[in-house]
């Protein structure tokens, strides 16, 4: 199993200048290749990676673009490969049409393959550099492994990171477990489990909202442009955002690892977060909860460690359905957090009841196969309501 190990490093002035120059050249090559492929597409002509690689060779020979020879050629070639992948995803209807990279907004990064770096005894030296990078080895690489790809990046807060892709023999399936859990995500509580456990929502963005608002007001007062004061103010805002993001990611990593370790089957709801954040009242809270990131982490960790994640169709009435007798309530506004079933008289916590229903229908999908449609009767013996259950493999 290949894994990326990310570390922070502190470059010298010469290394920082070289990397920033490389980032600029990577962006330039990517944008020029994208423009060439777009123009060819308008002429109903296809240009592939090999054609753009030949174009790069020709560009380097021109006087205007001779500076491309000053940086390592490997990151430039990798930029063309990334563009090829972007077009493959577009034609495969997995992504939108590739966009041009912006000098201010796009991620600053460069990818080096084995021919463009040297790694030995925790000393990493990149092409065009005479000294190794000053990396903070917060954790060791897997014993005996050698990086196959190195990606250097700088975030908006000015921090430098290096990511090393290598084989990790330590990623092995956990011992089989008998436990299964239904997971209901929310805002009051980040997660509610079918066991009745509720996990608090840390609300990382809200904790720093006052500091962030002050920094953003300070940035708004600065004259637009590339002035030093505006750059400092923009980096201050970026550092606050980075602090929020780091805390949120750390919390989600610990939470998803624990859930995957303890349970063999994990059942979640297939929410369309992209549509939900269009709600102007709840958008900020939903974004802060990071439901999509939670699901992404849960799925790839389940794939690593031999667990199964099942996603239940978003239209399944998990909140309105009594987990004890199966009676379906007619309405269930969001402000109702506890309710009493008209069929059996049991009082339910809305979130716990939802998690129990998700677990039940997820296990039914496991036994009966994908696409099972369980039937539930509404009060008064009316016609049954059918809800589709979709199963996602890890």
- Residues forming the active site: 184, 269, 351
- Residue 368 CB neighbours (<10 A): 13
SS3 assignment, position 189: strand
SS3 assignment, position 112: strand
- Report in angstroms the alpha-carbon separations of 231 from 12, 112, 219, 345, 365: 21, 29, 9, 62, 53
CA separation for the pair 169, 361 (Å, rounded): 35
For residue 188, give both structure tokens. Answer: 């009051």
Pairing mode, if any, of strands 385-386 and 375-376?
Answer: antiparallel
Closest residue by Cα to residue 344 from 374, 361, 323: 323
CA separation for the pair 361, 221 (Å, rounded): 54
Burial (0-12, 13-18, 19+ Cβ within 10 Å), 221: exposed
| Contact call for residues 75 and 110 (beta carbons, < 8 A) | yes
SS3 assignment, position 373: coil
How far, rounded to the nearest angstrom, does the alpha carbon of residue 342 sit from its chain's CA centroid? Answer: 42
């Amino acid at each position: 199993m290949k894994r990326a190990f990310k570390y922070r490093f502190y470059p010298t002035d010469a290394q920082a200048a070289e990397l920033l120059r490389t980032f600029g050249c990577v962006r330039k090559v990517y944008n020029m290749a994208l423009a060439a492929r777009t123009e060819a597409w308008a002429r109903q002509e296809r240009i592939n990676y090999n054609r753009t690689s030949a174009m790069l060779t020709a560009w380097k020979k021109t006087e205007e673009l001779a500076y491309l020879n000053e940086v390592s050629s490997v990151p430039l070639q990798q930029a063309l490969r990334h563009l090829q992948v972007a077009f493959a995803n577009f034609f495969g209807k997995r992504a939108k049409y590739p966009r041009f990279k912006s000098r201010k907004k796009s991620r600053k990064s460069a990818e080096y393959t084995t021919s463009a770096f040297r790694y030995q005894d925790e000393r990493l030296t990149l092409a065009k550099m005479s000294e190794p990078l000053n990396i903070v080895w917060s954790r060791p690489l897997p014993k005996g492994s050698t990086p196959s790809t190195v990606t250097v990046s700088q975030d908006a807060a000015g921090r430098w990171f290096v990511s090393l892709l290598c084989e990790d023999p330590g990623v092995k399936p956990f011992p089989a477990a008998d436990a299964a859990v239904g997971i209901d995500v929310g805002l009051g509580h980040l997660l509610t489990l079918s066991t009745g456990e509720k996990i608090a929502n840390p609300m990382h963005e809200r904790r720093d909202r006052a500091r962030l608002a002050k920094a953003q007001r300070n940035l708004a007062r600065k004259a637009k442009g590339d002035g030093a004061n505006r750059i400092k103010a923009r980096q201050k805002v970026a550092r606050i955002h980075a602090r929020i993001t780091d805390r949120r990611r750390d919390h989600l990593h610990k939470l998803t690892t624990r859930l995957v370790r303890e349970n063999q089957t994990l059942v979640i709801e297939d929410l369309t977060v992209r549509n939900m954040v269009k709600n102007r009242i709840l958008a900020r809270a939903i974004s802060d909860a990071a439901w999509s990131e939670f699901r992404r982490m849960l799925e790839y960790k389940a794939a690593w460690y031999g667990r199964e994640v099942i996603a239940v169709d978003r239209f399944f009435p998990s909140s309105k359905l009594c987990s004890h007798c199966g009676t379906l309530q007619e309405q269930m506004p969001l402000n109702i957090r506890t309710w009493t079933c008209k069929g059996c008289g049991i009082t339910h916590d809305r979130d716990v009841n939802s998690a129990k229903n998700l677990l039940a229908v997820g296990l039914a999908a496991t036994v009966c196969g994908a696409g099972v449609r369980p039937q539930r009767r509404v009060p008064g013996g009316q016609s049954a309501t059918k809800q589709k259950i979709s199963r996602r493999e890890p």
